[in-house]
Structure 1
Amino acid sequence: MPDLSPLDKAKFAAAKRAASFVEDGMRVGLGTGSTAAWLVKCLGEMVREEGLRITGVPTSARTAELARQVGVRVVSLDEAKWLDMTIDGADEVDGDLNLIKGGGGALLQEKIVATASDQMIVIADVSKQVETLGSFPLPVEVIPFGWQTTKVLVEEALIGMDVLGRDAGLRMDGDAPYVTDEGNHILDLHLNRIGNARQLSLVLNQIPGVVENGLFLDICDILVIGHGDGRVQVRDINEGSVEEGRLDFLETNNLFDDILD
């Protein structure tokens, strides 16, 4: 294992533990983001060294590219039709395993893939746990046509919501608007605190021009939290169980060297 920061160790520990849930022959949704990238690398190592046979359904073009690089067979969701599980990261997760996702810009495909799965496992470092969602800006994917009008409608809708902030900003990629894999834009809502996530999600998705929002409610089944010292906590909301463990970091050369960025 290369010389990792505590944060990278936490992400790797969560990803490594989550990879142990994957069994031969499974169809697995592959998330997007830095923690999910560790997971893809772990699965690639299992494919190469243990002969694991799985089919991966990526949630973004960059995840698909990484999966192919490490030897994971990739197909589309239409080809797979239904998945055994999806493993993905999160920007925030509360005590009920509700999430904010979309910091990496892939929330639409991530939500479609997650809901087409028998089980969703979320991997995260301990810093992503919060009492109440909302400190992380809530991403809302909108179509480019009339996005400024959509932004105004979103801001007006927020007036009646239980939130502390109401600023909405268009996500940029340099000097141009950020464009998702589906060709859409993203509004980041700086809400600070979301008092009623369920109500907010319903209201946002009724606004013309809004494609989907980054609130993932009642979707996550298992949360795997990694710590910088290698400790891992696995919480299963359906079983009502919490499991503690530890991953030993070994000084070995492996697939993970090139993922550090």
Structure 2
Amino acid sequence: MATSSTTTPAAAAAISPDEQARLVETSKRLAAFQAVKDYLLPTYTRIGIGSGSTVVYVVEAIRELGPAVTSKMAFYPTGAQSEELIETAGLTLQSINKLPPGQMLDVAFDGADEVDDELNLIKGGGACLWQEKIVAASARLFVCVADFRKLSPRLGTNWKKGIPIEVLPMAAPRVLHELKLLGSMNPLVRPGLPGKAGAVVTDNGMWIIDAPFKPLQLNSDGIVSGVNGVYTVDDLAERLIKIPGVAEIGLFYGDHGLQIASGAQKPVAAYFGMADGTVQVAKAPGVE
């Protein structure tokens, strides 16, 4: 992974909560505008738009390009939030199920809850992971946009809430049992409170289980995966998706868009707005 280094998250630690919140939002906006500048070519016509707080700034950056650039573009959302963002910005809304067979999105932009040294992602904090993965895998180029808090050497280092897993509600007890057998530490069905009694229900009518594991290792770390509850990203992902009742998992792993023609889950590049006002870019191997 190629990176251009700048500051670290620690640089933002010694400020007030209000200042920290403003810094985070500024960082998101910087990353979003730079990512759109670098990866949204005026010749593109099919654009994927992800979910979450950082994507708000992605849509803002696209809208500011003006109708001369965006009028020939169609935008494909990953859920209700991004659908509303697209419509509110006056952009052309399209649905991924209308994408003709054999065609792909030119590029997709989305956020992440955590990004490791090899651009594996944890996603699903906003409960849109299944549709996010479909859109990312439907794009020739998937670009991740985040702030400095999401940058981590290994998944599970900073993001302690667990891997989001979208499950069939009737299968939740069995999935919870299987997760504990794999070594997950206190996996839980995500509650809908305070806004909703009971479980969070996704746009697909599913529940979300958050499953904490020990920090996930890379294949290059050379560990024997599965010993003492420590897994590589790829191995754990393959185990989780095979549990009966699991619809999709919030690990984005495997290949990126320049390695395979379709179905890639990992981004070709990740943009991080840093605490010092710069943008750090991490690129997949082979991406210039």
Identify the TM-score tier after normalising by the shorter chain: 0.7 to 0.9
Which one-letter code corresponds to 2:187 in the other structure? A
Q: Determine the C-alpha separation between the residues in 1 that align with 2:234 and 2:286.
A: 23
The 5 Å alignment of 1:187-198 reads: 187-195=209-217, 196-198=232-234
Q: Deviations for 1:131-156, whole angstroms, at most 9, x for unmatched residues?
A: 11114211010011231122112222
Q: Deviations for 1:90-120, whole angstroms, at most 9, x for unmatched residues?
A: 1110111111111111100001110111011
Note the C-alpha offset of 1:23: 2.1
Residue in structure 1 matched with residue 249 of structure 2 by the alignment = 213
Which one-letter code corresponds to 1:176 in the other structure? G
| Mean Cα deviation higher: 79-88 or 98-107 | 79-88
Which one-letter code corresponds to 2:22 in the other structure? S
Q: Secondary structure at the match of 1:46?
A: coil
Q: Secondary structure at the match of 2:203?
A: coil
Tell whether 2:271 aligns with 1:224.
yes
Q: Secondary structure at the match of 1:225?
A: strand
Which of 56, 59, 76 is 1:40 aligned to? 59
| Mean Cα deviation higher: 55-64 or 19-28 | 19-28
| TM-score, normalised relative to structure 1 | 0.84
Q: Determine the C-alpha separation between the residues in 2 that align with 1:184 and 1:121.
A: 26
Q: Deviations for 1:57-113, whole angstroms, at most 9, x for unmatched residues?
A: 000111101110011111011223420111101111011111111111110000111
Note the C-alpha offset of 1:228: 3.4
Which of 11, 14, 22 is 1:5 aligned to? 22
Q: Secondary structure at the match of 1:97?
A: coil
- Asked if the contact 2:171–2:244 (Cα under 8 Å) also holds between the matched residues in 1, the reply is no
Residue in structure 1 matched with residue 258 of structure 2 by the alignment = none
Q: Determine the C-alpha separation between the residues in 1 that align with 2:277 and 2:156.
A: 28
Q: Determine the C-alpha separation between the residues in 1 that align with 2:282 and 2:147.
A: 13
Note the C-alpha offset of 1:240: 5.3
Which one-letter code corresponds to 1:212 in the other structure? E
| Mean Cα deviation higher: 144-153 or 83-92 | 144-153
Q: Secondary structure at the match of 1:177?
A: coil
- Asked if the contact 1:27–1:80 (Cα under 8 Å) also holds between the matched residues in 2, the reply is no
Tell whether 2:172 aligns with 1:147.
yes
| TM-score, normalised relative to structure 2 | 0.76
Which of 217, 233, 236 is 1:200 aligned to? 236
| Mean Cα deviation higher: 224-233 or 82-91 | 224-233
Which one-letter code corresponds to 2:60 in the other structure? K
Structure 2 residues not aligned, in runs of 5+: 1-18, 218-231, 256-265
Moved over 3 A (4+): 238-241
Residue in structure 1 matched with residue 77 of structure 2 by the alignment = 58
Which of 74, 86, 94 is 1:67 aligned to? 86
Q: Secondary structure at the match of 1:187?
A: strand
- Asked if the contact 2:241–2:247 (Cα under 8 Å) also holds between the matched residues in 1, the reply is yes
Q: Determine the C-alpha separation between the residues in 1 that align with 2:192 and 2:63.
A: 30
Structure 1 residues not aligned, in runs of 5+: 160-164, 242-261
Which of 62, 78, 103 is 2:125 aligned to? 103
